[in-house]
Amino acid sequence: MKWTDIQDIAIALAEIHPDTDPKTVRFTDLYRWVMALEGFDDDPKRSGERILEAIQSAWIEEAADIPC
């Protein structure tokens, strides 16, 4: 997985952190969680605020689709 795999990252985060409200996650934590994902293999320096915002937004959408 790379930083540009926004949807795949969001799905993985939703599965790993099902009880976490993605709206409350700080970018520093989000960055660490993405870097720790199994199968994630990209340059840590390629991340930025725009990518983290996109991941968080996709995760919010993914969490909304998960039945309670």
- Return the pLDDT at 63: 86
- Return the pLDDT at 14: 95
Q: Which CATH superfamily is domain 6-65 in?
A: IscX-like (1.10.10.600)
Dihedrals phi, psi of 48, to nearest 5 degrees: -165, 180
Q: Write the single-letter amino acid at 64.
A: A
Kindly report, residue by residue over 11-64, the tens digit of the pLDDT: 999 999 999 999 999 999 999 999 999 999 999 999 999 999 999 999 999 888
Global confidence as pTM: 0.91
b/e per residue 27-53 (b: at least 16 CB within 10 A): eeebbebbeeeeebeeeeeebeeebbe
- The radius of gyration of the chain's CA atoms, rounded to the nearest angstrom, is 11
- Give the DSSP H/E element, type plus range, for residue 51: helix 49-65
